[in-house]
Structure 1
Amino acid sequence: MSLQKEVTPMSQTAMSTLGIETIVNYLGGGVFCCKNDGVLTIAYASTSFYSMFEYSEGEITALNGPSPNRVLSSDQRINWGRLAENLKKRGLAELELKLVQKSGNYIWAICCLRLMIAEDGSEYFCGILEDVTKRRRSIKREREQLEIIKKAKRELANSEERYRIIMEQAADPICDYNFKTQELYCSPPFKEKFGLEVNADGLLEQLYHSDIIYEDDKSRILNDVYSFLNGKNPKSPEYRFKDVNGAYRWYRVRSTVLCDEQKEPLRMIAFISDIDRQKRETMSLKEKAEHDQLTGLYNRMTTNTLIDKVISQSSTGSRHALFTIDIDNFKNVNDNLGHLVGDEVIVNIASKIKKKFREDDIIGRIGGDEFVVFLTDISRRDVERKADVLQTIFRNAHPHDDPELKVSGSIGVAFYPEDGTNYYELFSKADAAMYAAKNSGKDAYRTYADTARQDK
């Protein structure tokens, strides 16, 4: 059953708010929307959603329905009413769900979930599922490796030779450093994976000054090693190492220290798991979820989150500026030259804005032809200069050099903290200033303070 047939009042507003069409087109996860009616009746689901569960559209009508076509595992206990109340307060929830395929096999998925309320008051859970079954299996494999290490520790007292044999049984690369003898042992898979011969003398210095560790990860891995030796576990022990083929791949490094009967460090053992595919898939999904697919700028939700985060971390005396920019006469471009040309104009403008601003400036596309730029620690004089830069960018974005379809930009500016202390307040003020610029003849910029004085 399609969303349009199930709930007619929500078809236009809900679909535009959720951006389901965009998600379906660009994300590989299963997209769904279902009623908050206990059985979670499906109002909409993408093709990839049904494929994930090995069903065809129409074979399942509810996530929590009766067997045999029940998607949610029966041993999962979720209070959907309480979840809906939490979503109303927090906006977004992330759940790990155990799910059942048509074949009866279980899969695990991360579900990013939001609550949508239709015009008639009906509540809908809308979300996207990412299959993490392989990732969980990878974690299971790591646990098995830890069990090998624990077994090695038990065997250590009896036979060093038996210890070596056990270590070599591990499929993942392993490094073993003996504190007492200062010997370093690298397992055969380590040598096969990295083609590297290392010795214990100045090991960290060797690695740091070689290209085996990805340049951006060197400082972090060095800090993590020292922290580990001081009894602290790294929060995210994931780094990029160069393999025998010269390619950098992502690996997770798990370490443990074995002590003797006097509690003195005897060995430090690290085993290395290849997580490159899972890591890149996660990074790709995160990138798509946070960015506008046409321009590569931050999308509306991410822009809001990042700006509020910067504001929450601002010190006393900080002064920031929020620009809202709307393309003047953009409808003429779409009507006369078509939406493809309109998209070219938007992409061209977005590219030029990114080149003209700092890397840590927050630039977002929050609507069809509407952009946001957030600049930190900036003076009013610099704001004027940046507004001139933006206006020049828009004035030079003539589609196909057609003077009859010339575009420009109307800009509104609000300042933190005097005009607002969060994104919503600043955006409301900047938006009002932007409309004042449009009403004054377009191709202009106004600050909220200027607009407020004119209204008096």
Structure 2
Amino acid sequence: MVVPESVAVQLRNGLFASVPIFLGGIMNIAAVATVAVWRHPSPAFIGWLLFEIMLGAIRLAVLVHGRRVIRTGRTPPLLLLSALLSCAWASSVGFGTYLCLTSGDWVLATIACLSAAAMVCGICLRNFGTPRLAATMVFMALLPCVVAGFLTAEPVMPIISVQLPIFFLTIFSASFSLHQMMVSRMIALNDLQRSESLNQTILQASPDYTLILDATNRIIFCNQPNSVDYDQDTLIGREWLSLLPEEDQASGVRALERAKTGKSANLVTHHFDASGGKHWLDIIINQICDGSGRLIMVARDITHQKKSEEEAIWMAQHDALTGLPNRAVLQDRLDRMLNNADHAMVGALLIVDVDNFKSVNDTLGHDAGDALLCAFADHLRAAVAGDDIVARTGGDEFALILTARSATAVDRTAQMIFDRLRQPFVHGGRLIDCSASIGASFIPRDGRLRSEIMKAADIALYAAKAGGRAQLRIFEPAMMVEVDRHQAMIASARYALQCDTIIPHYQPKVSLRTSQVVGFEALLRWRDRDGELQHPGLIQAAFDDSALSGPLSERMLERILDDVERWVQAGIAFGHVAINVTAADFRRGGFVETILLRLDARGVPPSCIQIEVTETVFLGQSADGVKDALRQLSDHGIRIALDDFGTGYASLSHLNQFPVDLLKIDRSFIEKIGSNPDAEAISATVINLGHCLGLEVVAEGVETVDQEAHLMGMGCDTAQGFLYSKAMPMEDVATFLAFRNTPPRQMHRA
């Protein structure tokens, strides 16, 4: 049998155990020796008595020392000495018994034999852990008795001497059997202790709650993680179902019934800690297979997982920027309202769009746009009742579902929104104007399907924007006409791109000093399905569409450079062509490289091109990138014109910060010259400002000789407008130049 080391240590330490048997043996043999000395005070008996006293004292000292060492958890160092002393003591017992048997005093002999028998029993009991030592001690204690039996004259003694070897064998067998039995028990106990220790360690290290229920569902064992809020002893004896919240008790009963059939049961429930915090538990219940009807229950705290799930669900249903519900929540609410609605109106859907939001993003940057959206969301929340819902459906568009049942109620909510939006909004030290357009539809008046309700509100919103923005429009069937027009614009722009009918036209720019054409501005024209030439106003909606505005700009640039290349190769003195560029063109990246590479590929000098930008490109987070782009163009000889000066957001400092060569006075000022002194003063101021900064000044929209005369008097450099010519196709430019730039005398001779 392989004995574990821990058990072997216990067996060896048995030499220092069983103190009562140890003391009883010493005292008993000392008493026999004393009686022997009293009855026969011979030197042999006296020597035996003294030896027993001395040996007993030594053994007792060794025993006490060994026990002290064991109590400290160490291995006693006197094992061999203790074993030798035990053998010496057994020998002294045998020697004393031999003296008593051979003394002829049968009273003493009887006492000695009884004592020896008792000593043998004590030896076997006390030294079961070391059976070889026990057998040796028995042999040493009884062997002298065998010899003494043969040496006495009494006839019966030899018979006893013959029986003693049989007794030896019996004692030996009993000692080894007892040893095996006790060792097996100790090994079993050791394994059990190790198993219990392992189980206890697992329980203590486990983050799970472990309960055992008896057949009546009462708790008879409870192990909880260290983070519990109450003593686990308070749970012992309680009925488990009483710990569940009321709404989960029916599920708990079903789970117990399932577990008692031998199947695994699962239950997700919760409880509140002492501070009121909610904790979620995932419980697995199984029956203990011992026929007792007990159940074991393991509960894992899944609060963190639940919170993560709740956060994921929240994020899936809400807008990350504003915290408002998203389109999915809005659609679900609409579907439920429509399912429960009869013919009477149960509510209204409002779609709210931030006016000019793209301009804020382009001019002040996306951080300002995000801040504006958050403030806008707060205004909407504050304007609705508790049962109403406010959602962000994407970009700068929001939606509200109101319990309003009349146009008056919708108008009242809209006015509250408009009132709140009039409050100043400041970002980065700038005051930003925030307004909104609102389109509304009624549920279920304007449709029995969610898509119909939302489409009706979208149409109403489009009507609100088309009507001047910052207003509320409630859906009417007639609004479909305007939506159809918007869709027609988008479709026409797509058609023009697909069929390649984008055609640049050129409006001349005339020097007011020489009356000569100094250049042209490229303007977009396109042909419809009937081949008719159309103005860009008929596809205006496409310029606000991110999917179409880029391709339109690319197509125009390609066509303009093709025309310029032909004029250069034909030697036509057209001066330059001004190309309009927006902030979106710069944001797309690579604009400067595209211009320069295409000019180089066509062999066109950069001086043949001008770039016209509005003041909005100087604003926003991309201003530094625009400045670098314009600087590169300027360094390559391309002049930069600032269009619509005086109507945007730019400050005069931008004229120094950006490489501007020309100022263009907006037509809104030019058309009032001769009738509005303020317009004349503004125009004169812009011209003087431009000249002071060394810039050329161009007047747009000149249509009358009187306007031209006023501009010449103000010292304006260049003019363009219908007074000189409408925008013309590329084919007419050469003829126009030949006629316009011919000196008067040559024209007269002709």
Normalised TM-score (structure 2): 0.32
Structure with greater proportional strand content: 1
Q: Which has the higher helix share?
A: 2
The structure number with the bigger radius of gyration is 2
Larger relative CO (CA 8 A, sep 6+): 1 or 2? 1
